[in-house]
Amino acid sequence: MARRKIIAGNWKMNMTPSQAVALCAELKDLVKSDSVDVVYCVPAIDIVPVAQAVKGTNVAVGAENLYIEDKGAYTGEISAPMLVDAGVKYVIIGHSERREYFKEDDAFLNKKVKKAFEAGLTPILCCGETLEQREMGVTLDWIRLQIKSDLVGVTADQVKSMVIAYEPIWAIGTGKTATTEQAEEVCKGIRECIAEIYDAATADAVRIQYGGSVNAGNAAELFAQPDIDGGLVGGASLKADFGKIVNY
Ligand code: PEP
């Protein structure tokens, strides 16, 4: 089955609302594509203006986080129904920065994945190893544990519709990209893990991105790998280069 590629920008904590609107205008023609899905995952405060700015274009809006309850006394949090009402289609869950700085563990992330599906959002579930884990040779063991824990109770049909992003932590924002072979090996390992938990059809359908210093120069080779269905892009999503990555 041919999986449609998906290229998502992760803006992280960058872009004020007015800068966000200006970036959408700058990228508008550059990210046009009929053949890949394009997503901007933006800070919460930028969601409404970005949704307005990309209306009528091929760009979908994603959030960088959500909370596990629908409403209530959770000061500072944003719920899945709020995101949906604002026009959000995708949500990043389990980015290594949230795992590390905000101590989000797999049990909590599993609740977030289920909450996203309940609301009709598509999760972009991130996983990835530290440099120490890679050097110890436990990369795939670690990633399989993350995937299995984060997907407890998630159905095969849900997994078929979701996105998994493999992001080696040592490659995020460092300018150090995993080699094409390293990236493909782990993305293939994730697909095999999905086949074991679910079945071959689910593994064949789920889209798996690579993320970690993707840029205009390395995107084509990475995205040409059989198990890499696009990228989650941080730094390079904030500039015109993102158009080159989309049209790799
Ligand atoms: C990310 O934050 O998801 C990411 C991959 O960042 P960068 O592309 O800057 O390494």
Residue nearest to atom 4 of ligand 1 (CA): 234
Asked if 167 is an active-site residue, the reply is yes
43-71: pLDDT as tens digits: 999 999 999 999 999 999 999 999 999 99
Strands 207-211 and 230-233, by their bridges, are parallel
Range of the domain at 201: 5-246
Average of pLDDT values for 217-233? 97
Residue nearest to atom 7 of ligand 1 (CA): 234
User: Which phi-psi region, left, alpha or beta, contains residue 97 (left: φ > 0; alpha: ψ -120 to 50)?
Assistant: alpha
Percent of the chain at pLDDT above 70? 100
- Quote the ligand 1 centre to 199 CA distance (angstroms): 30
Does 209 score more than 80 pLDDT? Answer: yes
CB 9 within 8 A of CB 221: no
106-150: pLDDT as tens digits: 999 999 999 999 999 999 999 999 999 999 999 999 999 999 999
3-state DSSP helix/strand/coil % of the chain, to nearest 5: 45, 20, 35
The candidate with the shortest Cα–Cα distance to 208, out of 189, 181, 235, is 189
pLDDT for residue 1:
65
- Quote the ligand 1 centre to 175 CA distance (angstroms): 9
Overall number of domains in the chain: 1
Does 176 score more than 90 pLDDT? Answer: no
CATH number at residue 227: 3.20.20.70
